[in-house]
Amino acid sequence: MAESNRQRKFASLIQQELAEVFQRETTHLLGNAFITITRVHVSPDLGVARVHLSFMLAKDPQGLLDTIEENKKDIRHKLGQRIRKEVRIIPELAFFLDEGAEYAQKIDSLLDSLEIPEEDPDDELEADD
């Protein structure tokens, strides 16, 4: 089912504010990992936000996700402080690892490692005959 305009706006607000929380208020938990919130999906009642995260410069993305899960209550509280005047409900947060960026990086490195022989101009002439 397609998201409503209200859900999209709320998801955008959460994405923006959570990015600020991760960038400014949780560095003591996450070190120098660069966290990107790739997308946020909000339930129709706005009570649950599914947050997809991507980690750059992280040796253990699953470990970071576990740390975020362990501190979910504090992260939700910080989010609530930022958006409480704009919304009635502070959603429950569900975090997921978005492996799209990591997958693209693997594909890029595989393509870079391919050894493609140079084209021989003589072969091209023979094919035209």
72-99: pLDDT as tens digits: 999 999 999 999 999 888 999 999 998 7
95 vs 119: CA distance, rounded Å: 48
Reduced to 3 states (helix: H, G, I; strand: E, B; else coil), residue 60 is: coil
* 24 pLDDT more than 80: yes
Delineate the domains of the chain, giving CATH numbers in brackets.
5-99 (3.30.300.20)
* 20 pLDDT more than 80: yes
- Per-residue pLDDT, averaged over 45-63, amounts to 88
What pLDDT is recorded for position 107? 80
47 vs 53: CA distance, rounded Å: 19
Amino acid at position 105, single letter: Q
Question: Quick one: pLDDT band at residue 110, thresholds 50, 70, 90?
Answer: confident
- Decide which of 103 and 47 is more confident: 47
